[in-house]
Amino acid sequence: GAGVSQSPSNKVTEKGKDVELRCDPISGHTALYWYRQSLGQGLEFLIYFQGNSAPDKSGLPSDRFSAERTGGSVSTLTIQRTQQEDSAVYLCASSSSGGALDTQYFGPGTRLTVL
């Protein structure tokens, strides 16, 4: 596709359940970022993947959060034992090589609601 796509667009889950959020970056982009946007807030960095390098996990808020990127393309963000404070919009972005001058292109996000 032409842009970054994410699925599902909305996810409602019960507290304590696990959820998986998917991101398809722009074809050919080697860098992929996950951000979280809580209501009325700016985006908060979670994790970064670049090619085969070890990911930068410095933004993950707890060990309940993890992410994978298989085959250098699609990425999955997993939240285990969800809590109400995990409710937010989760946004994925990709850039061509993760360099300083590369534009990060964002997907539409997945709105997660934890009841």
Partner 1 sequence: GQQLNQSPQSMFIQEGEDVSMNCTSSSIFNTWLWYKQDPGEGPVLLIALYKAGELTSNGRLTAQFGITRKDSFLNISASIPSDVGIYFCAGQNDPYSGAGSYQLTFGKGTKLSVIP
User: What is the contact surface with partner 1 in residues (CB under 8 A)?
Assistant: 4, 31, 33, 35, 40-45, 48, 50, 56-59, 91, 93, 98-109
Cβ distance to partner 1 smaller for residue 4 or 67? 4
Q: How far is the CB of 108 from partner 1 (least distance, A)?
A: 5
Q: Which two tokens stand for residue 95?
A: 């850039």
Q: Are 58 and 76 in contact (CB under 8 A)?
A: no
Interatomic CA distance for residues 44 and 90, integer angstroms: 9
CB burial string 5-44: b at 16+ within 10 A, e below = bbeeeebebeeeeebebebbbbeebbbbbbbbeeeeeebe
Q: How far is the CB of 113 from partner 1 (least distance, A)?
A: 15
Q: How far is the CB of 90 from partner 1 (least distance, A)?
A: 11
Cβ distance to partner 1 smaller for residue 72 or 108? 108
Cβ distance to partner 1 smaller for residue 16 or 96? 96
